[in-house]
Amino acid sequence: MSAARRAAPTLLAALLVLLTLVSPAAAGVSPSPSGTATPSGAATPDAGDDPVRVQVTQITPTVLRPGDDLVVRARLTNTTDEEISGVRARVRLERIRPGTRAELDAWLEPATTDTRARIGTTVATVALDEPLAPGASADVEAQVAAADVGLLDRPDTWGARGLAVEATGARNARLGLQRTFALWATEGDVTQARVSVLAPVVGPAPTPTDSDVSPPGPELGELVRTGGRLAAVLDLARRHPDVALAVDPALVADAREEDGPAGAWAEALVAASVGRDVVALPWSDPDLAALAHADAQDLLTTARTTAAAAAASDVAAGSPFAARTDVLWAPGPTTDRATVDLAAAVGASTLVLSPRDLATDSDATGARTVLQTDGGTVTGLVPDATLTTLLTDPTSLDPAATRATVVQRVLAELSVLARASTDGPQHVLVALPRDATPDVGLLDAVLAAVQGAPWSRSAPLTALLGATDDAQPRAPLPARTETPDALEPEQVERLTDARDATVAFAGVTDDPATVLQGVDAEVLAPLATAWRSDPAGRQRLVDAAVADMDARRTGLTLAPASTQNFIDVDSVVRFSVRNDLPVSASVRVQATPRKACLDVQPSDVVVVHAGSDGVVPVAVRAIANCEVVVEAVLTSADGTPLAAPVTFVVRAAPTVESIGTLVVGALLAVGFVLGVVRTVRRGQSARRGARRVEGDEGTRPLPVLGGAPEEEQ
């Protein structure tokens, strides 16, 4: 055999390979149904413009293994007003494995200017039996034999492969295309990526019981019925024990007080909480961004304390609704350092961020990160943006998305994450939006597929919170971001000041809890994140809350005093105090003259009983003759004003004699004291105090106090 004949088979094989690689470009340009020339291998710029909409509805098996046949089902829909004949569905497989998440995106959304974008090799073709009428749909099924799959059976070849279903018409012109993935698994151990899911259990915007402000959106009764958001969250929790719940205790408390569907839902939620991870959000799920921008640390502390007390009371009553309170959840859409600083200031260990806050869609980035603050570090949990969107709003990524394509893409993303793991398994977080109604069927399919794939597993939130690996640092958050829908700092400060004043007022009573009943819930209600959707209604709620707290501080009244005429130096003014509160109050009166001719000290603390009048005496000393205006204020023991001040006139005319008597008496007293002191200090001797009577000779000296006569000495 000659050398040329021996080389012929090799050259022929090389030529075939070359033709296969360049076939998309070599195929040239084919006329489209509209008459416009379209490259046969180019990506469709917008699936909504395609004459035929292609949707992959099922891929079996979800994870393909050596020896398995591949079955692909798709639905073709004529989006035009004309009948289309000769429609075929081609299944194409790209055998080059994407190595990064960026390459996954490139397969799904190739640049519209790339006329050579790959769509893989045709591995199966199915023709429609009849023309496709305008608006009509047809389901097709294509089978790919295991021998035609053509993927290598080696331990390191597992992962995603590009899969596309293309609709073609006359002369093989492309009419529509949808891209997705086939998943290939070979024998051998592989690294696994872990997925945790966090679902919010938050209700409609809260309002006080007697408020006339209506919350935006569906009411609680609608949310807990079949098809409602809260009913779907409960259904999801019942089906998947690894799904963590972030619960607003205020919502559960409100629901448990109602009869009917809301009460039944609350009890079912409590039962479903047994044995799973539950995070207690601060009471009423307050907007952390609004609190941070107003530096309202005390309000957040109040919300967390109230939530913790509610959970503790439930546990004490035998309820299994126990939750951790050290995790906060930022409302988004972006989070700034001010919010992180607030979380650290109140002692939170973890802050769940928004999906777009920090980059997570890289190849080796899990959910955990370190957030630096002046008060220390906080662990940040960053939801994976792509996975979260796939499970909550997949059509925003692919208008023709189906349950099947979502499942395949989730597994493709996780396969890349698993391959990129070098220091242990990657752990990612999916955090469902607060206002999203979970698609339980989609989540069922995705979570089942995650458990079934060799490179992924679902995991409880505690596995992520308690991870011992080093959280990965990322680019710093902005110092402050403006959130137009958040409550303005000035309004937060109004609520803070009104609450502080009411708490101080309640401190003078013997039962502050009675005065403060419902105050915290009233203050926290307009701070709820859910009120972002109705700023006007929220403002009315703020005004109503401030007005109510002002009214709570009007139960004590200081009666006006008449003109006082003083002719003595020391006098007493008796003030009448009215207590219309349901509890007794301890008060005092502080009177301040506008001239220095009077000396007035605060009164003693006097208890005025509920629903009665009391008298508070105030001692006044006149220093000089004068007529002066005095302002009197009813205060607490520490001087906090409790009622509107009153003014009255004092005419002081202490007589000269009174003043002279006081002066002389004071001088005599001083002299007496000085004499006594002088005598005590000098003492007495034998000579001091002994004296003779001159002119009377022979008489004896007077007895000497404390001594003997001189002649005896």
Task: Flag the least confident range among 184-198, 329-343, 513-527, 645-659.
Answer: 645-659
Tokens 């001091």 appear where?
688
Encode pLDDT of 138-178 as tens digits.
999 999 999 999 999 999 999 999 999 999 998 889 999 99
Q: Which two tokens stand for residue 452?
A: 């079934």
3-state secondary structure 251-307: HHHHHHCCCCHHHHHHHHHHHHCCCCCEEECCCCCECHHHHHHCCCHHHHHHHHHHH
592: Cα separation from own chain's centroid: 48
Higher-confidence residue of 559 and 373: namely 559
3-state SS class at 175:
strand
Pair 500, 359: CB distance under 8 Å:
no
Domain 556-657 falls in which CATH fold? Immunoglobulin-like (2.60.40)
Q: Which two tokens stand for residue 179?
A: 């891209």
* pLDDT confidence of residue 373: 87
| 230-244 burial code (b ≥16 CB/10 A, e <16) | bbbbbbbbeebebbb
Q: Which two tokens stand for residue 177?
A: 């295309």
* pLDDT confidence of residue 121: 95
- Residue 562 is given by DSSP the state -
Sign of CA dihedral 173, 175, 180, 183: negative
Domain 33-184 falls in which CATH fold? Immunoglobulin-like (2.60.40)
Encode pLDDT of 399-446 as tens digits.
999 999 999 999 999 999 999 877 677 899 999 999 999 999 999 999
pLDDT of 16 above 50: no
| Closest C-alpha among 245, 265, 250, 255 to residue 200 | 245
How many CB atoms sit inside 10 A of residue 134's CB?
A: 11
How many CB atoms sit inside 10 A of residue 531's CB?
A: 29
Pair 556, 642: CB distance under 8 Å:
yes
Mean pLDDT, range 255-278, rounded to an integer: 93
Mean pLDDT, range 174-184, rounded to an integer: 97
| φ/ψ (deg, to 5) at 499 | -65, -45
Distance CA 417, CA 427 (A): 9
Pair 84, 54: CB distance under 8 Å:
no
3-state SS class at 525:
helix
Distance CA 357, CA 352 (A): 10
Radius of gyration of the chain (CA): 43
Q: Which of the four pLDDT bands, split at 50, 70 and 90, describes residue 660? A: low
CA atoms within 13 A of residue 677's CA, in its CB half-sphere = 6
* pLDDT confidence of residue 364: 57
Tokens 């913790």 appear where?
308
Q: Which residue ranges does the chain devote to CATH 2.60.40.10?
A: 33-184, 556-657
* pLDDT confidence of residue 226: 95
Q: Which residue ranges does the chain devote to CATH 3.20.110.20?
A: 193-203+219-465
Report the number of secondary-structure helices (H) and strands (E) in the chain. 19, 28
Length of the chain: 713
Distance CA 85, CA 234 (A): 48
Encode pLDDT of 437-476 as tens digits.
999 999 999 999 999 999 999 999 999 998 766 566 677 8
* pLDDT confidence of residue 672: 75
First to last CA, the chain: 167
Distance CA 620, CA 600 (A): 5
Distance CA 479, CA 139 (A): 53
How many CB atoms sit inside 10 A of residue 611's CB?
A: 13
132: Cα separation from own chain's centroid: 51
Higher-confidence residue of 312 and 173: namely 173
pLDDT of 32 above 90: no
Sign of CA dihedral 62, 63, 66, 72: positive
Distance CA 230, CA 218 (A): 11
Task: Answer yes or no: pTM beyond 0.85.
Answer: no
Pair 229, 237: CB distance under 8 Å:
no
> Is beta strand 376-381 parallel, antiparallel or unpaired with respect to 70-78?
unpaired
Going through 146-233 in order, the beta strands assigned E by DSSP cover 159-168, 174-184, 193-201
* pLDDT confidence of residue 544: 95
Q: What is the crossing angle of helices 440-452 and 403-420, to 10°?
A: 40
Mean pLDDT, range 563-569, rounded to an integer: 92
- Residue 527 is given by DSSP the state G
- Residue 333 is given by DSSP the state S
* pLDDT confidence of residue 691: 46
The edge-to-edge listing of strands for the beta sheet with 612-622 is: 556-558, 570-579, 612-622, 598-600
Distance CA 274, CA 319 (A): 9
pLDDT of 666 above 90: no
pLDDT of 305 above 80: yes
* pLDDT confidence of residue 542: 97
* pLDDT confidence of residue 365: 73
Distance CA 122, CA 142 (A): 11
- Please give the helix or strand (H or E) that residue 315 lies within, else none: helix 297-316
| Closest C-alpha among 102, 59, 45 to residue 402 | 59
Distance CA 367, CA 379 (A): 10
Encode pLDDT of 320-358 as tens digits.
567 899 999 999 999 999 999 999 999 999 999 999 887
- Residue 533 is given by DSSP the state G
pLDDT above 70 covers a percentage of the chain that reads: 82
Query: DSSP for 355-396?
Result: TTTS---STT--SEEEEEETTEEEEEE---HHHHHHHH-GGG
Q: Which two tokens stand for residue 308?
A: 């913790």
Average pLDDT, the chain: 86
CATH tag for 193-203+219-465 (out of 3.40.1400.10, 1.10.760.10, 3.20.110.20, 3.40.50.280) = 3.20.110.20
How many CB atoms sit inside 10 A of residue 328's CB?
A: 24
Task: Flag the least confident range among 80-89, 97-106, 649-658, 672-681.
Answer: 672-681
Higher-confidence residue of 349 and 2: namely 349
pLDDT of 698 above 80: no
